[in-house]
């Protein structure tokens, strides 16, 4: 299995809703990532988990709450979002064997397209 699977593919939510995005990989990767991508813009890093622990938070507002229940799963809990949070949310994973060529390639999921009304 060489894929990163994200659900749902599309999500529409109101500003008072609570929802979650899910990500799953079975490649044995010990690093998992959340990126946010606005239309015609590059992906922007939000969070990095390594060995199931949050290692990097790029000053993301607290209305986004990540969770890594185990080495294969990554969630992004959403609460009280704003319309400007509408974007494509990409999950990615990678090995953590630093310094070895090919070990650092991030594999991306197809994304969850979020619309906040």
Where do contacts with other proteins occur on this chain (CB under 8 A)?
Answer: 4, 31, 33, 40-45, 48-51, 55-56, 88, 90, 94, 96, 98-99, 101-102, 104-111, 113
Instruction: Compute the least distance from the CB of residue 16 to other proteins, in Å.
Output: 28
Strand partners, 112: 89
Q: How far apart are CA 53 and CA 30, in angstroms?
A: 10
Strand partners, 116: 13
79 vs 95 by CB, closer to other proteins: 95
What contacts 59, CB < 8 A, 6 or more positions away?
Answer: none
Q: How far apart are CA 61 and CA 38, in angstroms?
A: 16
Instruction: Compute the least distance from the CB of residue 105 to other proteins, in Å.
Output: 5
17 vs 107 by CB, closer to other proteins: 107
Instruction: Compute the least distance from the CB of residue 62 to other proteins, in Å.
Output: 21
Please answer whether residues 88 and 48 qualify as being in contact, where contact means their C-beta atoms are separated by less than 8 angstroms.
no
33 vs 64 by CB, closer to other proteins: 33
């Amino acid at each position: 299995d060489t894929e990163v699977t994200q659900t749902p593919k599309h999500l529409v939510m109101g500003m008072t809703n609570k929802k979650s995005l899910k990500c799953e990989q079975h490649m044995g990767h010990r690093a998992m990532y959340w990126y946010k991508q606005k239309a015609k813009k590059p992906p922007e890093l939000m969070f990095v988990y390594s060995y199931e622990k949050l290692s990097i938070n790029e000053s993301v507002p607290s209305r986004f709450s990540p969770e890594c229940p185990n080495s294969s799963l990554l969630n992004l809990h959403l609460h009280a979002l704003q319309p400007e949070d509408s974007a494509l949310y990409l999950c990615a994973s990678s090995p953590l064997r630093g310094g070895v060529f090919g070990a650092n390639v991030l594999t991306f999921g197809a994304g969850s397209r979020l619309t906040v009304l």
